[in-house]
Structure 1
């Protein structure tokens, strides 16, 4: 299978100066990390007025390249890189504040910074300052970054943005599709202020294909052109791009499907105790690990779906997600590290019953019981969302409740992982049209073909809350039939309040807000929804507060009478003064 392959070369020099305050670096990890996180390149330039800016630029590059690969595999490139840069900026700013230069930013721990992450078929650019990133494609050179330099005249200027200058940092981000043959050029101002784009093109066309020597030649040419600054060039060429099939599908396709298993069978290091569930899509077994003696849940795909790579990937995704989310309310993957010979997942056993069975046994739960259940589900969803993972299939059958009342999300097969979704070509188009969740609990935006957001999981949680309280659904079966915005505008929320349910009106108002067809009109966060289930929202209180006359009728009429008396006295005084 074709994968992303890159060639790189770099060269840095102090030039005519005694100290080199530039820094550059690269990470080209092997698979599977290359597919999950991509290849990273970074360049930084310390400001000449600072004696410690060399430390700043070296720290910025090293921390970015090291810490980026320590972020969650589920995070998107943008989120992971920006979190790292925020942390680096905070450290540099803190060092300046603790140094003798805390009142003079021009002498602090400050540097410009430009970086690129090459992942799958895209480049993700991050930029602050006046270092630059160019792209040479089919004979055309384009500057991809914008210089953050403010000019006060022809001779005087200052950096308007850089790492370490302010407590908060704003990073330029750009996402671009890649083509085989693309050449990316990273330069500090010591190079591009001495070489025009035309000159850059001419020198690159003359190189023999060796990027290390090409970078060195560009630095030499800039010096010969009169550069008196530090000089750094980094070159990255895209030689081939991966196919659109993700690594998980490749793994699924490389292993055979397991046979139908029965009690007592030995399978891949496990002993099957019994079958728990069987359907046309999968088989679920209770098994014992022969090495650790731990009981596990094995899920194997149906043989009928052996030619459906998307389904096999989703099955493997469940365990992949479980290994990267640490929460008491999300199922954990089984602790086994031996290689597998078949396609299946192995998860820890979760004791208890499904929430669906619990609802059958407890048809009229109290509001407080429902709150406790919803709060635990929300904590599980929040753990997923922090890892940039959407559940997308929240329903009673996918939730376990123990005898002690502990809630666990057990089925993650429909989860959407931002970091994995970036590995698809044109992931922003088309994927959202596949509705993986159960229609009765799915958010309306899925039926429009839109991508889900954390507010989509919020909608599903609100539907579940409504169903726990009433046994009904807020819009019946109509949501799944509303495939246009106009149709969704006609949806009318049905109040959960009735004569038999002891539910405060403000709880109904909370559900109504969370169940808005337009996701922008819902609560902004799960925590806000959970809080409003226990506390009347101030907006609701203000909207339903009776007028002053109804709340304090005696005081109201006393005040009106007093005001009228003052008016009469004033008018009488005017009459007496004119006579």
Structure 2
């Protein structure tokens, strides 16, 4: 699969090979369906998904289909006669190669005098002459696909081959074929398949060759082409015309961006224009954020995530056009509602959780969830805004940083794992959501400024969250327990998803309804150490008194 343009950027180049089992009359149907289905369906997956998720989701669906065909046929009584095949693939996206494999076909990297095997044969050997495939597509209702990735190098040559080919080929044969056929890799692969048959192979022999001729720049990002050639906008004022919009007024200004309310001249629709700061025009990561914000908004369909403006026209300047939400930020709502009811807080958390779930379902993390980045419109609908700091797995396949390790958000709302270098996950956004819930209920931050000072795992373990009931005695004890779990410094101890936190705040389970009071050191760490110090002081006085009395 050699797509062009944007599809090559988002999905890459794919080479796939499948080999049916020789004992099955329908194995050629299985292998053809596996390859054709994979190449077609992989391109249809969300471009926000990582290569690994996209490929494994497609292969899981293919495996289910193949297994279902076997169960509907006479082959369901004979494990050697079903819709079963091996599968091996290489995907080159950006500068990275991604390998997916199941079965006993192989993928090699060619060296000067050797073939480096990159895959493991999933074949179980019963004896020196008897063996069977332990893993293959269609062999069962579920399948485990091997996956690995590495950075490609210009000039590398890879060979994919079925067992009827690789068992009779070596590095010299591959090099000779490439030398004789030059850039005609189809001819070279054909020559290698014929060579395997000439050397005694009595099985179907299939060979594919891939050579890396060129790679994108190492310091480039997947979003860079989308902002290439776009100028930084000038300063705008009321009634200014800009890119088919008329500016109404400025909504917000900071050192990082300028936000204006504008009207689309063609439709009369109100939109929000977000313009980058001229002072940061040389920061590529910052400029990528502008492209990313609208890119994410166009791919997430949720009533609780800000949408991009439907206007899609040719641009000459770098800016973001988003829907206009008439309402107020959650930060202002908290000023207007200093003592909100638990029910109103639950309603806001529930809507924010739905917005986060929409992002997480596409392998995106918001990473900057805070009251200023939440809007509440006049109907009470809550929307997550400011998506410039979002981490997108599909874009990270080609970015310098594969994982979500950068601290992108406001420190007080950022989960401790970012500060320790562990990196973020969906549970990091859960932490930020819990901080907001705690702040709405108590007007305080759970860790004050201490969470932002964490630099090691030991620092994180020393964090102590002030119980919400110390500040709001009217809250049920289980609310504290739910929030304490979501705010745990260890992400593995938190709720797995934002929806789980929202559910716990509405319908707490038995773990939160226990009547046993937590230890004093957890409820009142300062008081615990005060008491411990007082007891030690009394003990010292008593011992000194006994010693004096003894003398």
- The TM-score, its normalising length taken from structure 2, stands at 0.90
Asked if residue 398 in structure 1 is aligned to residue 373 in structure 2, the reply is yes
User: How far is the alpha carbon of 1:539 from its aligned partner?
Assistant: 2.5
Instruction: Tell me if the contact between 1:271 and 1:290 (Cα under 8 Å) persists in the aligned partners.
Output: yes
> Partners of 1:483 and 1:545 in 2: how far apart?
31
Instruction: Tell me if the contact between 2:334 and 2:440 (Cα under 8 Å) persists in the aligned partners.
Output: yes
| Alignment match of 1:64 (pick from 38, 42, 66) | 38
Cα-to-partner distance string for 1:167-225 (whole Å, 9 max, x where unaligned):
01111111122111111101111111232455445544554342111101101101111
User: How far is the alpha carbon of 1:373 from its aligned partner?
Assistant: 0.4
RMSD (Å), alpha carbons: 1.8
Q: Who is 1:19 aligned against?
A: none
Cα-to-partner distance string for 1:2-59 (whole Å, 9 max, x where unaligned):
xxxxxxxxxxxxxxxxxxxxxxxxx111232222221111000111221112111111
Asked if residue 246 in structure 1 is aligned to residue 221 in structure 2, the reply is yes
Q: Who is 1:6 aligned against?
A: none
User: How far is the alpha carbon of 1:498 from its aligned partner?
Assistant: 3.1
Instruction: Tell me if the contact between 1:253 and 1:309 (Cα under 8 Å) persists in the aligned partners.
Output: no
> Partners of 2:459 and 2:296 in 1: how far apart?
35
Q: Who is 1:368 aligned against?
A: 343
Asked if residue 28 in structure 1 is aligned to residue 2 in structure 2, the reply is yes
Alignment of 1:172-321 (within 5 A): 172-197=146-171, 199-204=173-178, 206-243=180-217, 244-321=219-296
> Partners of 2:112 and 2:201 in 1: how far apart?
29
RCO (CA 8 Å, sep 6+): is it higher in 1 or 2?
1
User: How far is the alpha carbon of 1:544 from its aligned partner?
Assistant: 2.6
> Partners of 2:168 and 2:115 in 1: how far apart?
17
User: How far is the alpha carbon of 1:94 from its aligned partner?
Assistant: 1.0
Instruction: Tell me if the contact between 2:112 and 2:171 (Cα under 8 Å) persists in the aligned partners.
Output: no
Q: Who is 2:360 aligned against?
A: 385
| Alignment match of 1:423 (pick from 379, 383, 398) | 398
Which secondary structure does the structure 1 equivalent of 2:271 belong to? strand
Closer/same/farther in 2, CA of residues 116 and 212 from structure 1, 3 Å limit: same
- The TM-score, its normalising length taken from structure 1, stands at 0.86
Q: Who is 1:496 aligned against?
A: 468
Asked if residue 464 in structure 1 is aligned to residue 436 in structure 2, the reply is yes
With 130-139 and 461-470 compared, the bigger mean Cα shift is at 130-139
* Count of residue correspondences: 517
| Alignment match of 2:478 (pick from 500, 506, 517) | 506
User: How far is the alpha carbon of 1:532 from its aligned partner?
Assistant: 1.4
Which secondary structure does the structure 2 equivalent of 1:254 belong to? coil
Instruction: Tell me if the contact between 1:74 and 1:387 (Cα under 8 Å) persists in the aligned partners.
Output: yes
Alignment of 1:315-330 (within 5 A): 315-330=290-305
User: How far is the alpha carbon of 1:269 from its aligned partner?
Assistant: 1.2
Instruction: Tell me if the contact between 1:163 and 1:169 (Cα under 8 Å) persists in the aligned partners.
Output: yes
Alignment of 1:119-198 (within 5 A): 119-137=93-111, 139-197=113-171
Instruction: Tell me if the contact between 1:506 and 1:537 (Cα under 8 Å) persists in the aligned partners.
Output: no
Q: Who is 2:531 aligned against?
A: none
Q: Who is 1:517 aligned against?
A: 489
Instruction: Tell me if the contact between 2:365 and 2:426 (Cα under 8 Å) persists in the aligned partners.
Output: yes
> Partners of 1:202 and 1:398 in 2: how far apart?
61
User: How far is the alpha carbon of 1:499 from its aligned partner?
Assistant: 6.8
User: How far is the alpha carbon of 1:344 from its aligned partner?
Assistant: 0.2
Instruction: Tell me if the contact between 2:110 and 2:171 (Cα under 8 Å) persists in the aligned partners.
Output: no
Instruction: Tell me if the contact between 1:252 and 1:309 (Cα under 8 Å) persists in the aligned partners.
Output: no
> Partners of 1:40 and 1:499 in 2: how far apart?
57
Which blocks of at least 5 consecutive residues in structure 2 are unaligned? 519-551
Asked if residue 98 in structure 1 is aligned to residue 48 in structure 2, the reply is no
Which blocks of at least 5 consecutive residues in structure 1 are unaligned? 1-26, 547-579
With 164-173 and 265-274 compared, the bigger mean Cα shift is at 265-274
Q: Who is 2:454 aligned against?
A: 482
> Partners of 1:272 and 1:238 in 2: how far apart?
49
Cα-to-partner distance string for 1:489-548 (whole Å, 9 max, x where unaligned):
2111110003744211111011111111111121222222222112233224457399xx
Which secondary structure does the structure 2 equivalent of 1:544 belong to? coil
